[in-house]
Amino acid sequence: MARRLGASQYLYAKAEAMTDQFRIKIAQLNPTVGDLQGNAAKAKQAWLQGAEQGSDFVTLPEMFITGYNTQDLVMKPAFQNDAMNAVRELAKECADGPALGIGGPWVEDGALFNAYFILNGGDIQTIVKKHHLPNETVFDEVRIFEPGQVSGPYVINGVRIGSPVCEDAWHSDVVETLEETGAEFLFIPNGSPYYRGKLDVRLNLMVSRVVESGLPLIYLNLTGGQDDQIFDGCSFALNPGGELAAMLPMFEESITELILNRTDQGWRIADTLKSKIPDQLEADYHAMTIALRDYCAKSGFGKVLLGLSGGVDSALVATIAADALGAENVRCIMLPSEYTSDESLTDAKDMAENLGCRYDYLPIAEGRAAITNTLAPLFEGTNPDLTEENIQSRLRGLLLMAVSNKFGEMLLTTGNKSEVAVGYATIYGDMAGGYNPIKDLYKTRVFDICRWRNEQHRDWMRGPAGAVIPANIIEKPPSAELRPDQKDSDSLPDYYVLDGILTILVDQDGSIDDCVAAGFPKEDALRVQHLLYISEYKRFQSAPGARLSPKAFWLDRRYPIVNRWRER
C-alpha cells in the first residue's frame, strides 16, 4: 500500500514531482437518485483508488451526489440541505489525497444552482455553477435552477482546469471564456441520457470545442438507468484537433486514469482505452436491458412476471427480462381464452423453455364466464362488441396483478411504441404493470431486435445464447386474439405504414402533408393522427418505459389529454 501523506504534504509532493504530468481519474459510475450515502460511498471508493495510485484529480459526473435526473425532488429544501451536507462530509473524509470533483445542488442567497464541487484538503475549494440550463426533452432546469455566472478555471497542483458543466460545453461562450482566462485543459462533467445517435451528437459538438479552443477535452458521463432515462456512459477524451485519445464503454461502469503530458504545444492526453461502440440495434437492446435491471434494483424488485401470449412483443420483453435479471427471476404466464390458437400456446411454451423461465398456465374461461354472468342483467338487449373483448384483457390484468401482489414480482407490460401511440391496448388490462421495456420501440423495430438477439449474445446478457425466440413468433401475423381470426391489420394500417406515419407525426413533429409527401395515403395519416390524440389519456396512465429516442412518450412529448385540434 502506498504511504499516506497529510493534505499539505500530498499537495506539495504532487506539485513538485508532477509538474509535467497530470493524472486524472474519471469515474463513469451509476448513482441512484436520492441515495446520498450510497452515492457518496461510490465516490469515496473511486477517490481511494486515486489516492493509492497517485492521481492528481479524481472526478465524478454531474449531480452525482444526488443522482440524476432529480426532477422536482431537488427543489425540496430538506433534500438540498442533506445533499450539501453529504458533499461537505465527503470533503472531510477525502482530505488527505487527491482533489475530488463531484456534482450536486448548491443553495446560495436563496438561489438553487446545479453545481460542480472541487474538494481539496478537507474543504470545498471551488464551486462551479452551471450557466446554460437545458429546457428541452427530459430537462426542466430553467424552472428548477438559477443560471450561474461564467467563471474562470480552478487550479489543482499548479494546473489550471476549466469545467463547463454539461450543457455549458454545448455552447461556445463558456469554453471561450475559460480558454481566455488561462485554462490548460477542459474537464466536462455530464449527466447526458441516451437516445439513438446521441454519442455522435456529443462527439461532433466536443470536437468543435477543442478546435475552437485548442485545448484537450475530457468528457465524463453518468451511466445506468433512472426511471425512463438511461445514461450510456461513453465518456471520452479528445486532443486538440479532435483526435480521440480515450473512449469508455457504453452502459458500463468504468474507472479509468487519463494521463496528460505537458509538451511544447501544451497538454496532451496519452492514448488509452478505446472501447468499441455497438451498432444501433445492440445499443437499443442494451439500453432496454440496463433500464429494466436498474429500475428493478433501484426500486427493490428482484423478480418480474409477464403475460406471455405467444406474440412477438411479450417474447421480446421476456427475453429482455431474462437478460436483465436472469431467467430464474422471470415468471411467464399464459392466460388463454377460447380464441387463443394452438399455435400461440405452443409458441409461448417453447419461448419460456428456451429462456429457462418459469412457465405457468392459467386459463381465463371460468373467470370470464363469472364476469359475463355478473354483467348480464345490465347488458341485456345489447350486442357483444369491443366491451367483451376488453373484458378478456382486463381479466388477464387482474390475474397478473394478483400474482404480482402475492409473490412480490413486478408485472411487466408489453406494449410497443406503435400500440402505445394509437391506443391499441386496453387500459387496466394489458396496460397494467410497473414497467414497459419496449415502450419506445416501434413494432417494425421489435421484429429487427428479435432477429438481432437470436443471432447475438454478449457478456452482459444473463439469459441463454442462441435463437431463444422461436421463428414462428417473429414470422406469423400479429394478433391480439380477442375474437375469431383477428389480426392487428383489421384495426390498424400495416405496421410499416403505421410506423412510417408515426415517425413523421411523433418523432419529427411533422404534418399530414409531410406524410403524404413521404408516400403514405392521406386517409391513413388522418386516421393515425386521430388515434394518436384520443389515446393521450391512456398514455397519461401508462407504465414508465425505457427511453430510446428524443420523442419518447412521457417527458419528451407532453400533450394535453383533452385536445380538439386536428390537422385537416
As a whole number of angstroms, the longest Cα–Cα distance in the chain is 93
Give the predicted TM-score (pTM) of the model.
0.93
- Where residue 121 falls (left for φ over 0; alpha for ψ -120 to 50; beta otherwise) is left
- Cell 442567497, residue located: 109
At residue 16, the pLDDT reads: 43
Element (H, E) at 185: strand 185-189
DSSP label at 356?
T
Q: Helix 198-213 and helix 172-180: axis angle, to 10°?
A: 30
DSSP label at 230?
E
At residue 333, the pLDDT reads: 98
**Residues 505, 506, 512, CA angle at the centre, nearest 5°?**
5
At residue 17, the pLDDT reads: 44
Q: Helix 77-93 and helix 36-53: axis angle, to 10°?
A: 20
Question: Among residues 219, 241, 126, 210, which one has the least CA distance to residue 167?
Answer: 219
Do the strands 21-28 and 254-263 form a parallel or antiparallel pair, or are they unpaired?
antiparallel
Strand, coil or helix: what is 503?
helix
Catalytic residue among 94, 166, 357, 515: 166
H helices present in 227-364, as ranges: 280-299, 312-325, 342-355
CA pair distance 350, 369, nearest whole angstrom = 29
517 touches 500 (CB < 8 A): no
DSSP label at 479?
-
CA pair distance 549, 565, nearest whole angstrom = 25
77 touches 85 (CB < 8 A): no
Rounded alpha-carbon distances, angstroms, from residue 129 to 100, 107, 467: 16, 11, 50
Catalytic residue among 14, 25, 129, 130: 130
- Cell 499548479, residue located: 158
At residue 19, the pLDDT reads: 65
CA pair distance 476, 311, nearest whole angstrom = 9
Residue 130 annotated in active site: yes
* pLDDT (tens place) for every residue of the chain, 568 residues total: 333 334 444 443 444 444 699 999 999 999 999 999 999 999 999 999 999 999 999 999 999 999 999 999 999 999 999 999 999 999 999 999 999 999 999 999 999 999 999 999 999 999 999 999 998 889 999 999 999 999 999 999 999 999 999 999 999 999 999 999 999 999 999 999 999 999 999 999 999 999 999 999 999 999 999 999 999 999 999 999 999 999 999 999 999 999 999 999 999 999 998 999 999 999 999 999 999 999 999 999 999 999 999 999 999 999 999 999 999 999 999 999 888 889 999 999 999 999 999 999 999 999 999 999 999 999 999 999 999 889 999 999 999 999 999 999 999 999 999 999 999 999 999 999 999 999 999 999 999 999 999 999 999 999 999 999 999 999 988 777 677 777 777 778 999 999 999 999 999 999 999 999 999 999 999 999 999 999 999 999 999 999 999 999 988 898 989 998 999 8
- Cell 480521440, residue located: 244
Question: Among residues 455, 400, 452, which one has the least CA distance to residue 426?
Answer: 400
CA pair distance 298, 280, nearest whole angstrom = 26
Residue 62 annotated in active site: yes
Catalytic residue among 14, 62, 93, 443: 62
CA pair distance 170, 205, nearest whole angstrom = 6
List, as one string, the DSSP characters of 252-272.
S-EEEEEEEEEETTEEEEPP-
Residue 232, beta-bridge partner list: 223
318 touches 332 (CB < 8 A): yes
Locate 422 and state its grid cell: 394509437
Q: Helix 312-325 and helix 443-455: axis angle, to 10°?
A: 50
432 touches 401 (CB < 8 A): yes
233 touches 222 (CB < 8 A): yes
CA atoms within 13 A on the CB side of 325: 30
At residue 27, the pLDDT reads: 98
